[in-house]
């Protein structure tokens, strides 16, 4: 099994953040936040096949991850509530999540799930 990259460095605007891969409690919290943000409709939105639902789910995924794993992001950018932000302002965060964090996160999750499946 290849070495897991446990820390990811990202840059948003002028600020560099070092992100640790979430521990078990954080993984649970991320999924809980996703459900809370979508009024328990995350699965239905994902299964809908509606383009706008997928766009919103990218935003939900980014908010959940940043809220749980990168709380210093909200402090640095003085974000009190991600859901009240204007769409244009959250756009860069979602792009960084989709392009940099999600591939890293998904690769580790796939690696971890394959280890569990083999046991």
pLDDT of residue 87: 87
The answer on pLDDT for 49 being more than 70 is yes
Residue ranges of the domains in the chain? 22-118
Q: Which helix (H) or strand (E) holds 60?
A: helix 51-69
pTM value? 0.90
Confidence of residue 119 (pLDDT cuts 50, 70, 90): low
What's the average model confidence in pLDDT over 57-73?
A: 97
Buried-exposed string 18-32: b where 16+ CB fall within 10 A, e elsewhere: ebebbeeeebebbee
Q: Is the dihedral of CA 96, 114, 50, 67 positive or negative?
A: negative
- Residue scoring higher pLDDT (3 or 19): 19
Backbone angles phi, psi at 10, to 5 degrees: -130, 155
Q: Residues with Cβ < 8 Å from 91, sequence gap 6 or more?
A: none
């Amino acid at each position: 099994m290849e070495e897991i990259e446990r820390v990811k460095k990202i840059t948003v605007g002028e600020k560099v953040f070092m992100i640790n891969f979430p521990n078990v409690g954080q993984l649970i919290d991320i999924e809980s936040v996703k459900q809370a943000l979508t009024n328990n409709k995350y699965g239905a939105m994902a299964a809908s096949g509606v383009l706008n639902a997928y766009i919103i789910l990218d935003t939900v995924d980014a908010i959940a991850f940043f809220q749980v794993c990168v709380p210093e992001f909200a402090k640095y950018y003085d974000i009190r509530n991600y859901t009240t932000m204007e769409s244009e302002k959250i756009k860069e965060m979602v792009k960084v999540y989709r392009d940099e964090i999600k591939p890293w996160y998904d690769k580790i999750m796939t690696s971890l799930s394959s280890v569990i499946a083999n046991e």
